[in-house]
Structure 1
Amino acid sequence: MNRTNEDDEKKKKMNRSKPVDRYNGGGLYNFRLNICGSPKITKLRFHYIIKPFRLLFEQFPQNIRELKAMIDDHHSRCDLMAILESLQKYEDFYLDWSDSFIRSIQLCRPSMFTVNNKISNAPQHSQQMIDIETKDYCRDMVEEFAHSIQAFSNFQSSLHNRFHMIVKMQRNPHLIDYQTHFSIGMRQIFYDLYAKQRQLYYYYQLTYDLIAKNCQKFITY
């Protein structure tokens, strides 16, 4: 049986309507891969968007929860240097990830599909339309990310507020602005933890000084 153009078009439409399999942990992956029905673009979107986001969504809440537990545990002998090293490791990881987030947007905008891959007969998009599309795409991605960490309300709001500063821009929202604000938002999360760690260190220092002073009095008298 020979395939016809009509059959191909039907298959493309069916592919476009298929959502990505959701990760079984919060239903955060309702992304549609086949925007233009291209296997090449599907592969790109999976590699540069779905996989990194899945990694982030899976690891971020647990990482932060572990670090907070370490810092909050006043009754155990916390290794303050170990906490600092863990904070640095996670901060580096997520800031590196934010770079790939921006690259994925550059590679996988729908307008880039239609123009560069010649999948449709869509006219060349103006820079203004591409900027608007990119802004909307960033907003959607950030909404997904913010939802994934909503249990940590102060962390969620720090990212959310940063991005709304950009999303509300009416003209020329550049990718560098997204990169800058995303990195700032990520850093703010870790700075909050650093601040808490420093408070804990100060608490231990006061306790140590108080004990030392009392011990000295005991020895003196």
Structure 2
Amino acid sequence: MVPEHDVADEVRHTAKMARKKAARDRLMAEKSGEKGLIIVHTGAGKGKSSSAFGMIMRCVAHGFPCAVVQFIKGAWDTGERRLLTTHFGELCQFYAMGEGFTWETQDRARDIAAAQAGWEKAKQLIGDSSLRMVVLDEINIALRYDYLDINEVVAFLQTSKPPLTHVVLTGRNAKQELIDIADLVTEMTLVKHHFAAGVKAQPGIEF
């Protein structure tokens, strides 16, 4: 036999969940709009690019054409690049435009040229209304070092992005001008990182 207090708790819980569902259903019924989003993943924590590539894989799973421009990690043989180019090249265009982090090249002019070439490719892709999503991976780093003009990037996103195209911009230290125009901004917070304990970057985790 179920104790009376357990029965009462179950009744209260059921009623509470029913109220929550009704409120949620009302909230969802009010959301009918659809638009291409400007999405920013920033912050010191891990997961910015990983989250963006998760969204790309969702697009691929739905059969939506999409594209990636990598501004920094172009010299890396990353798992996501290998997967997308090997198995999903017909749906996802992938352009590795960067040559590594700025401290690796140690050549500002070369870094600026690579970033600007990446941005020219990005503009071409974003302007293609057949693409559902374009990821600009680590573009925030290029913007942080002023390899690209933040005002030009913001103006292009505001005036030239097709209405239903999603653009995802990743990298720490996103500029305020970009945050201001974004529809969705997520900041990854660093709580603990294995690198501090002497563990190097590993395939399947960092790349």
Which structure dedicates a bigger proportion of its chain to strand?
2
Report the TM-score, using the length of structure 2 for normalisation.
0.29
